[in-house]
Amino acid sequence: MKTQVVHSGEPRHFPFESLTTPIVQTATYTFRNSQEVIAFMEGKLEREEYGRYGNPSVSVLEKKLAELEGTEDALTCASGMTAVTMSILALVKQGSHVVLFADCYRRTRQFVMQFLSRFGVEHSLVPAGDLEALERAIRPETRLVISEAPTNPYQSVVDLERLAEICRKRGVKSLVDSTFATPVNMQPARYGIDIVIHSATKYLAGHNDVLGGVVAANRGLTSLVRDFRHVFGAMLDPHAAYLIQRGMKTLALRVAQQNESAQVLAEALEGMPGVKQVWYPGLPSHPDHALAKRYMSGFGGVVTFELERDLEGTMQFIDACKIPRIAPSLGGVESLIEQPSLMSYFELSTEQREAVGIRDGVVRYAVGIEDAADLVDDLRQALESTQAA
C-alpha cells in the first residue's frame, strides 16, 4: 500500500517533465480546428472540453483512488456530502425506497429523511448493524442500502459480506461510507459493496486544508453519478485535487501512525479513573471487535469515550486538554477533540440527544500524528486537573 499511494494512477511522465501532477488551472479547453470539434463530439477523440466535465489534474487523482479501492472507476467532487447525495440521487426516483442504519452520519440521515421525502422517496431506519432488521425492511421498491464502516462516533463495523449478499439477493445497491477506515485499512468493494464513499477532506488529504469527496464503483454506476455532477456543477477544482493527491502520498504512513497511536490511547483510557466506557474497534471490549479484525487491517484513528460527568464537567475536561484542538472533522495530522453534544447535536435537548445515543459525557478524539505518549499524558492531566470540578 505504501507504494500504491505514491505511484498508482499516475503516468510515468507528466507534461514539462514535472515530478508532481501539474495543476491545470483552466475553466475551458481550446480546439485546434473545427474538425477536432467534430471528432470529439462523435466520440473519436478523448480529451477535455469544459471544466465542469473534467480536468487532467482531477483525472489523475480519480485513477489513483480507483486503484486503491480496487474498483473499475472513481470520481471526485466538491465534498464528501456531495459524493453521498449525488450517489443517492443517481439511484432513486419518485416512489423509490431507501434503507439506512440509525447510526449513519446525521447529514446523510437528514438528506434521506427530510429532503428526499419531499420528492416522494421513502425510507426505513434500522438499528445499527442489525442485518436481520435490514433484510426485513427491504421492499420491492427499495433501490439502495446505506451504511458506514466504521460509524461515527461509536465505531460500529457492519458485516460487509453479509450486507452485500443481502443486497445482491434482493437486487438492491449497497453504499458504504468508508471515510473512517480509508483504503489503507479496508476496501469494502472487495467484499461485494457496490459504491464506496469517502470524504477526502479527512484522511485522504490529511492536512485539514481542503474539501473533497470520492465515489468509487464500477463504471456503470460512476457514469450515473458523473451525469449528476455535470449538471450540478459539483466538480472538484484542480488545486483541491492537487492538495488531496499531495496528501495521499503519505496516506499509508499517516494512517499507520494513527492506527498505532489510537490503539495506545484507547487502551490507556480504559484504565483511567472517571472514564465510563471506550469505543475503539481495536479493543476486545468493542462489540464489533471480531468484525473489525475480519475486515480491517488497522482500526483507525478515532477513539470515542464517555466520561462519568455531565455536560459541564465534560466541557471542563475538553478545555483542559492542551494538545488536541477543539474542532469538528478528523484524519489530519493534528489531533482534534470534540463533544458531540455541543458540536453536532447542540440544537437538541438532552433527552433528544440521548434518544439517538449521544450522551453529554461522550467525547470523540481524532488522533493526529503526535507522539502517542504525549497524547496519553495530556488526557491524564486533563482528567486529574478537572476531577474535583
Q: What is the pLDDT of residues 175-200, one digit of tens each?
A: 999 999 999 999 999 999 999 999 99
How far CA 357 is from CA of 150, 154, 321, 351, in Å, comes to: 16, 9, 24, 10
Task: Return the percentage of the chain with pLDDT > 70, whole number.
Answer: 97
pLDDT beyond 90 at 31: yes
d(CA 66, CA 8): 9
- Residue 166: closest CA among 197, 196, 137, 123: 137
The residue-averaged pLDDT of 7-25 equals: 88
Q: Per-residue b/e over 96-135, b at no fewer than 16 CB within 10 Å?
A: bbbbbbebbbeebbebbeeebeeeebbbbbbebbebebbb
- List, for residues 48-61, the tens digit of each pLDDT value: 999 999 999 999 99
| pLDDT score at 357 | 75
pLDDT score at 331: 97
- Mean pLDDT across the stretch 298-305? 98
pLDDT confidence of residue 345: 67
* Domain 2-248 fold: Aspartate Aminotransferase; domain 2 (3.40.640)
User: Would you say residue 22 has pLDDT above 60?
Assistant: yes
Mean pLDDT of the chain: 94
pLDDT of residue 348: 66
Quickly state the pLDDT bin for 349 (edges 50, 70, 90). Answer: low
pLDDT at 10: 87
Rounded CA-CA distance 128/166 in Å is: 16
Percent of the chain at pLDDT > 90 equals 87
Give the range with max mean pLDDT: 3-7, 67-71, 103-107, 340-344.
67-71
Burial class of 171 by CB neighbour count within 10 A (0 to 12, 13 to 18, 19+): exposed
Contact 148, 107 (CB under 8 A): no
Residue-wise pLDDT tens digits, 135-159: 999 999 999 999 999 999 999 999 9
Query: The C-alpha cell of 82 is what?
Result: 456531495
In whole angstroms, give the CA distance from residue 185 to residue 167: 23
Q: Using CA atoms, how far apart are residues 134 and 117, in angstroms rounded to an integer? A: 19
CATH topology of domain 251-385: Aspartate Aminotransferase, domain 1 (3.90.1150)
Average confidence (pLDDT) over 121-130: 94
The set of cell numbers assigned to 323 is 494538545
The three-point CA angle 300-302-308 to 5° equals: 140
Report the relative pairing of strands 97-101 and 142-148 from DSSP bridges.
parallel
What is the reported pTM? 0.93
Sequence ranges of the chain with CATH classification 3.90.1150.10: 251-385
Residue 336 confidence (pLDDT): 98
Specify the pLDDT at position 7.
87
Q: Give φ, ψ of 366 to 5 degrees.
A: -95, 110
> Average pLDDT of 340-367?
80
Tell the burial category of 28 from Cβ atoms under 10 Å away from its Cβ (0-12, 13-18, 19+): exposed
Asked if the model's pLDDT at residue 389 lies above 90, the reply is: no
304 and 154 Cβ atoms separated by less than 8 Å: yes
| Confidence check: pLDDT of 100 > 80 | yes
